[in-house]
């Protein structure tokens, strides 16, 4: 069968890598892909911001299955349009993807369905923000309502700072139309957890849990990013907690969406805070997470194609996934200046040496290839990923691989999974 993966990041490289392992797959395409993906799939140019462009490339390829990577095509309604044309597509419809497209929709949905979430206020103007802030104790979390590539969340240390950030978002100066509405939210203490399930609109099958590292600097300092690394282990959540998350969060979300006329098929990413008062939902993503997908797929031993087709066909079951007990970790190597302004076009060296290390896969995110060499083309450049029986060994392998790779301005966190190692 022919598979089309839409997207160009590290998540999409990991998906291509895993899908190619299925004995049922004869060819994988990726649109638009990146330099590293081009070594494993046929890349086709496409404008992911244009539904017409996405339809055109799929019409050329006529894939047996399309897997949507990033969030923007979901907002455009690519699943609706492809399904209307009879093309089998994995992912939620535009209506179901509102859980990610609009944080205010998600918050109100959680409240309607009595699913635990942080206290919040939805603000359309500064006239809403000022009185709402009186109900919060600092620090205050300020979130852009719309899609902001993981950069639409600011933790303000004071109410004055929260007001300033909200003003910049609402004015469009910070994030454009994504900040046309803001959500103020209480700050929660605890460990963040990325809990992903695959749904067929009624049933859910959980993936192994992971923990993302969103801040740019060691010790969770500096601004938020799209993600600077992630890890997953057999013990990150025990079986009892996994079942609780499925019963009290994942299934009620899927049931609630169906009850509201927006059947949810695809991956549901539940971003949680594990607090003293229990797991609390921070946000939803309606697709595979990035960089969590990279270590998660490193541990997957079952056929991903089978699970994706089960979702589409309405036959998802708990037996869709099999997992290694190994640990896996991803360290993101980023361009100098990221998550702010950065320069592209820096030559990357050492990739072949890193790939030779045991248990290591280097997933490309922001790269291009020309004349036999790779160059940086994005903020997050590489997802250096390693697997081993013990987490400490996986971490060491990932950092050993990072040490062999270089490009001008490269930076990465040195403390991915450090808290888990301390425990």
Q: Over the stretch 184-230, which tens digit does the pLDDT of each residue have?
A: 999 999 999 999 999 999 999 999 999 999 999 999 999 989 999 99
Which candidate, 96, 45, 54, places its Cα nearest to that of 73? 54
DSSP β-bridge partners for residue 149: none
How crowded is residue 1: how many other Cβ atoms within 10 Å of its Cβ? 15
Q: What pLDDT score does 319 carry? A: 85
Q: What is the mean pLDDT of residues 163-192?
A: 93
How crowded is residue 120: how many other Cβ atoms within 10 Å of its Cβ? 22
Contact predicate 195/209, CB 8 Å: yes
Q: What is the DSSP-derived secondary structure letter of residue 349?
A: B
Cα-based torsion angle of the residue sequence 195, 115, 157, 340 in order, rounded to the nearest 10 degrees: 40
Q: Over the stretch 218-265, which tens digit does the pLDDT of each residue have?
A: 999 999 899 999 999 999 999 999 999 999 999 999 999 999 999 999
How would you class 113 by CB atoms within 10 Å of its CB: exposed for 0-12, middle for 13-18, buried for 19 or more?
middle
**376: pLDDT strictly greater than 80:** yes
Contact predicate 366/376, CB 8 Å: yes
Q: What is the pTM of this model?
A: 0.95
Which pLDDT band holds residue 70 (cuts at 50, 70, 90)?
A: very high
Q: What pLDDT score does 280 carry? A: 97
Distance CA 387, CA 168 (A): 42
Q: Over the stretch 42-66, which tens digit does the pLDDT of each residue have?
A: 999 999 999 999 999 999 999 999 9
Q: What is the mean pLDDT of residues 319-342?
A: 96
Which candidate, 191, 190, 170, places its Cα nearest to that of 180? 170
Class in CATH terms, 119-186 = alpha beta
Which pLDDT band holds residue 36 (cuts at 50, 70, 90)?
A: very high
Q: What pLDDT score does 394 carry? A: 98
Which pLDDT band holds residue 148 (cuts at 50, 70, 90)?
A: confident
The CATH fold assigned to 327-422 is 3.90.600
Q: What pLDDT score does 41 carry? A: 98
Contact predicate 351/239, CB 8 Å: no
**359: pLDDT strictly greater than 80:** yes
Phi, psi torsion values for 47, nearest 5 degrees: -100, 105
- Boundaries of every domain in the chain: 2-90, 119-186, 191-320, 327-422
Distance CA 197, CA 286 (A): 10
The CATH fold assigned to 191-320 is D-amino Acid Aminotransferase; Chain A, domain 1 (3.30.470)
Per-state percent for the chain, helix, strand, coil, to nearest 5: 35, 30, 40
How crowded is residue 314: how many other Cβ atoms within 10 Å of its Cβ? 12
**Run of H or E residues at 369:** strand 367-370
Q: What is the mean pLDDT of residues 362-377?
A: 97
The verdict on domain 2-90 having CATH code 3.40.50.20 is yes
């Amino acid at each position: 069968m022919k598979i089309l993966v839409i997207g160009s990041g590290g998540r999409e490289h990991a998906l291509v890598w895993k899908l190619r392992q299925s004995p049922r797959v004869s060819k994988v395409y990726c649109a638009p892909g990146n330099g590293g993906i081009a070594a494993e799939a046929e890349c086709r140019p496409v404008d992911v911001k244009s539904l017409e462009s996405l339809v055109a490339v799929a019409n050329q390829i006529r894939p047996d299955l399309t897997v949507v990577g990033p969030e923007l095509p979901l907002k455009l309604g690519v699943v609706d349009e492809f399904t209307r044309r009879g093309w089998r597509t994995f992912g939620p419809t535009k209506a179901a993807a509102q859980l990610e497209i609009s944080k205010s929709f998600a918050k109100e949905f959680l409240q309607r369905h009595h699913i635990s979430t942080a206290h919040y206020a939805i603000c359309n103007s500064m006239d809403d923000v000022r009185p709402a802030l009186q109900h919060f104790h600092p620090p205050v979390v300020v979130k852009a309502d719309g899609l902001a590539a993981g950069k639409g969340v600011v933790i303000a240390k004071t109410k004055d700072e929260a007001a300033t950030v909200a003003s910049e978002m609402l004015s469009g100066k910070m994030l454009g139309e994504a900040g046309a509405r803001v959500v103020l939210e209480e700050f929660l203490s605890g460990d963040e957890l990325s809990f992903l399930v695959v749904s067929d609109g009624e049933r859910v099958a959980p993936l192994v849990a992971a923990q993302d590292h969103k801040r740019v600097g060691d010790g969770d300092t500096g601004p938020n990013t799209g993600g600077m690394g992630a890890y997953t282990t057999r013990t990150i959540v025990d079986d009892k907690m996994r079942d609780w998350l499925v019963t009290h969060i994942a299934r009620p979300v899927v049931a609630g969406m169906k009850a509201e006329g927006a059947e949810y098929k695809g991956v549901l990413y539940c971003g949680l805070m594990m607090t003293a008062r229990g797991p609390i939902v921070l946000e939803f993503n309606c697709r595979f997470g990035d960089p969590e997908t990279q270590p998660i797929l490193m541990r997957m031993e079952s056929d991903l194609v089978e699970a994706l087709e089960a979702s589409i066909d309405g036959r998802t079951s708990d037996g869709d996934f099999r997992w290694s007990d190994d640990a896996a970790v991803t360290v993101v190597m980023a361009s100098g200046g990221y998550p702010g302004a950065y320069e592209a076009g820096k030559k990357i060296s050492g990739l072949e040496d890193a790939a030779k290390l045991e248990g290591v896969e280097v997933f490309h995110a922001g790269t291009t290839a020309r004349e036999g060499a790779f160059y940086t083309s994005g903020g997050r450049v590489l997802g250096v990923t390693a697997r081993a029986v013990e987490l400490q060994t996986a971490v060491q392998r990932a950092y050993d691989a990072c040490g062999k790779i270089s490009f001008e301005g490269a930076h990465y966190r040195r403390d991915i999974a450090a808290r888990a190692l301390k425990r």
